Amino acid sequence: GENVEQHPSTLSVQEGDSAVIKCTYSDSASNYFPWYKQELGKGPQLIIDIRSNVGEKKDQRIAVTLNKTAKHFSLHITETQPEDSAVYFCAASLPNFGNEKLTFGTGTRLTIIP
Amino acid sequence: NAGVTQTPKFQVLKTGQSMTLQCAQDMNHEYMSWYRQDPGMGLRLIHYSVGAGITDQGEVPNGYNVSRSTTEDFPLRLLSAAPSQTSVYFCASRKRGSYEQYFGPGTRLTVT
């Protein structure tokens, strides 16, 4: 099965600086890579995702890059703000039409220092 | 829309007790899943369903049962609770043809 590793487990950045979280996956057949944000006491919420036919995707201050050759993908948050403090999870999914299942990374606790 | 709702929010059980965690969604999503979240281990899939009457096992199914009699509801049953089942449980749903999963707020379960 798929295995997803996520680094770092904790990350502290000054407000206004950028944050980068990296994930690697094991199965080269994986084709869908979402990122979820989990705030304290809440369920994870999708913030951005990327398919394997795309190398980069951006949504305002958030971007995700994918390197299929190296089997890794990264989340980039620019101009960080206090509300970006949360736990972030990456995930990967194998193509199994109608039955896709996500394998999650272990999470990164991001703290924005005012 | 209320989205995905879960009850209860918190529960304490004694070893050997049974209980059902409730999950409901009002988005008419075909797919529903149960995950458990443990410190340092991310979210792991317990069971999932691709439609009413159809369920299948995920990564960590032992000790849990599910059924899907309606599109809206997907309860998770703990048959005989064990301390190893202490965790936060999340229910999620998504629409066929879409990858995006919508998560509920979670149930924090403690087994003593």
Q: Phi first, then psi: give them for residue A37, nearest 5 degrees.
A: -115, 130
**pLDDT tens digits along B67-107:** 999 999 999 999 999 999 999 999 999 998 888 889 999 99
Q: Give chain A's mean pLDDT.
A: 93
Provide, as residue numbers in chain B, all residues whose Cβ is less than 8 Å from the Cβ of A6: 42
Query: Which two tokens mark B87?
Result: 């965790």
- Closest approach of B17 to chain A, Cα-based (Å): 26
**pLDDT tens digits along B21-46:** 999 999 999 999 999 999 888 899 99
What whole-number distance in Å separates Cα of residue B106 and Cα of residue A43?
6
User: What's the half-sphere exposure (Cβ side, CA atoms, 13 Å) at A62?
Assistant: 15
Provide, as residue numbers in chain B, all residues whose Cβ is less than 8 Å from the Cβ of A1: 59
- Count how many residues are written for chain A: 114
Res A98: pLDDT: 55
What whole-number distance in Å separates Cα of residue A1 and Cα of residue B28?
30
What whole-number distance in Å separates Cα of residue A49 and Cα of residue B23?
25
For residue A107, is it left (φ>0), alpha (ψ between -120 and 50) or beta? left
Res A52: pLDDT: 81
Task: Indicate yes or no: CB of B105 within 8 angstroms of CB of A41.
Answer: yes
Which has the closest alpha carbon to A90: A7, A30, A10, A27? A7
Alpha-carbon distances of A29 from A41, A51, A94, B109, rounded to whole Å: 34, 12, 6, 35
Residues of B with CB under 8 A from a CB of A: 4, 33, 40-45, 48, 50, 56, 58-59, 90, 92, 96, 99-101, 103-106
Whether pLDDT at A95 is above 60 = yes
Give the closest of A4, A41, A43 to B90, CB-based.
A43
